[in-house]
Chains A and B, each alone.
Chain A
Amino acid sequence: MKNRIKEFRARHNLTQEALAKKAGVRRETIVFLEKGRYNPSLKLAHDVAKALKTTIDELFIFEG
């Protein structure tokens, strides 16, 4: 699953640390998500999307 977290984060001028704080996770989790090395739970996807003022559909690109 691909995502546009980095793009949205840059758009909102947020650091990984700031986004992590907003989403209630560790910075390492944001790093893993951005690199596509971790598929988040629905709750985390929702929290990250909310922190970036967007929707899960906009943020995550489901493949296959």
Chain B
Amino acid sequence: MNRTQFARCGSLIGGAIGAAVGFGVATGNYLLIIVAVVLGVVAEYVCKRCVSEIVEDELVYRLSERAALRAFQAFALTAGLGGALLVAFGNQLPGLGQLRPVGMTLAFSACSLLLLYLVFYSYYARKGMD
């Protein structure tokens, strides 16, 4: 399998998972969602193993690292600030209902992400980079 075929396979798998998840949500069949996601991950892994060409190299990893760091910074900052604002003023905004729980969720998500970052950073700082 070459890279183009692999990309097509990935799109097909992604589409199938999306359809299954949509169907599962619509019908309330949550087991279907779990099965679809697990099967999709397995199918993607099998497809990746069948690719004869190089799909990932150090440039891909470096780009992913930078993109992940920027995504992390953007999310942590906006979710942290937005969450704090909603926690503080969420129940005082007229016509918007109770937004404080949304703020709490955002703030806790940002904290969890920061904690996860710290854990992985410490792990790789100890293990070293190869």
Contact = CB atoms under 8 A, between A and B. Distances in A.
Q: Do A and B come from one complex?
A: yes
Interface of A: 20, 24-26, 28-29, 32, 38, 40-41, 43-44
Interface string B45-61: 00000000111011110
Name the interface size band of chain B.
under 10
A50 to B, nearest CB: 15
Contacts, number: 24
Nearest to A21: B54
A19 B59 CA distance: 15
Contacts of B60: 26
A28 B59 contact: yes
In the complex, the 9 A-B pairs of residues with the closest C-beta atoms, listed nearest first: A25-B57, A29-B59, A26-B57, A26-B54, A29-B57, A44-B58, A41-B58, A38-B59, A32-B59
